[in-house]
Structure 1
């Protein structure tokens, strides 16, 4: 299990990212349309005034069950060893694991 404080920190970042998503996208679109350096600078200052944790790049994918930050499969949202255990227990239909 991952530390609960790290999981809560990541959940907080998810909420901030959802809250400021539209604002961040609209500012980035404005920057791409404008040619004046002064206007771009002003928009960039507004973009930087948003909370740092509201950026999508700061999010970390974690295992749904254990909270493990590494070795996650996007399709299932699980880490590798949990996925393997579930396949062996026949909890994931259609998934086969090789054994020899």
Structure 2
């Protein structure tokens, strides 16, 4: 499980990206890279990292469900994900 500070930092970055999205798009369209450079670094969507919504784990993230492989496996075995079942052949 990720530290709370890492989760908070990620939330802060996501808020900044959302706040400056329109402004970044307008500046890029104009080609005004000097003004774009003056925006906060964390306002760039490249700095975001996909994290599990439950644990905050960054690796083993399953995009379709928004959780890590560990949480996905747990939920799948508990039957909490409709249409998902353990493979056997």
Query: TM-score with structure 1 length normalisation?
Result: 0.85
Size of the alignment, in residue pairs?
89
1:56 aligns with 2:41: no
Which of residues 62, 83, 89 in structure 2 aligns to 1:94? 83
Runs of 4+ in 1 over 6 A off after TM superposition: none
Determine the C-alpha separation between the residues in 2 that align with 1:99 and 1:50: 52
Which segments of 5 or more consecutive residues in structure 1 lack a partner in the other structure?
Answer: 32-42
Residue 55 of structure 2 corresponds to which residue in structure 1?
Answer: 66
SS of corresponding position for 2:18:
helix
Alpha-carbon RMSD? 1.0
Query: TM-score with structure 2 length normalisation?
Result: 0.94
Q: Deviations over 1:46-88 (max 9, x none)?
A: 0000000000000111101111011111110010111011111
